[in-house]
Chains A and B, each alone.
Chain A
Amino acid sequence: GAVVSQHPSRVICKSGTSVKIECRSLDFQATTMFWYRQFPKQSLMLMATSNEGSKATYEQGVEKDKFLINHASLTLSTLTVTSAHPEDSSFYICSAGGGTRSYEQYFGPGTRLTVT
């Protein structure tokens, strides 16, 4: 299957700062990338869908000014958590699809964010 990487795998930041998480499709061009949030022992909650070269589409209840998503190329999407607070602490997962992998989503390994 296709490979999707995320960086960093873990990050700790102070309350009020911003943190950027990168999602890369390593061996295919992803026209669409998805960002999920997952709390312990719970399901994945879709935050937003990003298409290369256009603005992300956010799910209801997700603050677009807090969770900035950029999909500048066919292999890279970034999620920036702005002015992070302890309640933003969570596990963030990206997935990539589209292009030559049109019917599949390939998941990154996730990023654990802790806001102190």
Chain B
Amino acid sequence: AQTVTQSQPEMSVQEAETVTLSCTYDTSESDYYLFWYKQPPSRQMILVIRQEAYKQQNATENRFSVNFQKAAKSFSLKISDSQLGDAAMYFCAYRSMEYGNKLVFGAGTILRVKS
């Protein structure tokens, strides 16, 4: 079974600075999707970024980018120019290509943004 590990329960970043959230996963599959979701205090899950494992190029979405290291099974999220609205719980998630849309979530990282 696949597992996802987020080793940072909490992180802090100064407004306008850069922060990196870590995620590692374990799988025997060669093709899969990886996601980062944001859950603000409203608790609505918001998709931040998606990476297909077969793509070598790291995904980027505006201020959000990932460092995908397939061999190391690492998938970190970098947030540049942090804003107060970035404060939230961030979840890394794995989706198998073989077992439908089922997502496996990490434990989450609480990100605090200081003004």
The yes or no answer to B28 lying at the interface (CB within 8 A) is no
Known: A43-B106, A44-B91, A103-B33. A110 touches B101 (CB 8 A): no
**What sequence of 0s and 1s flags, for each residue 33-61 of chain B, a beta carbon within 8 Å of any chain A beta carbon?**
10000000011110100100000000000
Main SS at interface, chain A: strand
Question: Contacting A32 at CB < 8 Å: which of B95, B100, B105?
Answer: B100
Known: A109-B42, A110-B43. A49 touches B89 (CB 8 A): no
Number of interface residues of B (CB under 8 A): 19
Known: A91-B43, A107-B44. A32 touches B91 (CB 8 A): no
In contact, A110 and B102 (Cβ under 8 angstroms): no
A residues in contact (CB < 8 Å) with B: 1, 32, 34, 38, 41-44, 46, 49, 91, 93, 95, 97-98, 102-105, 107, 109-110
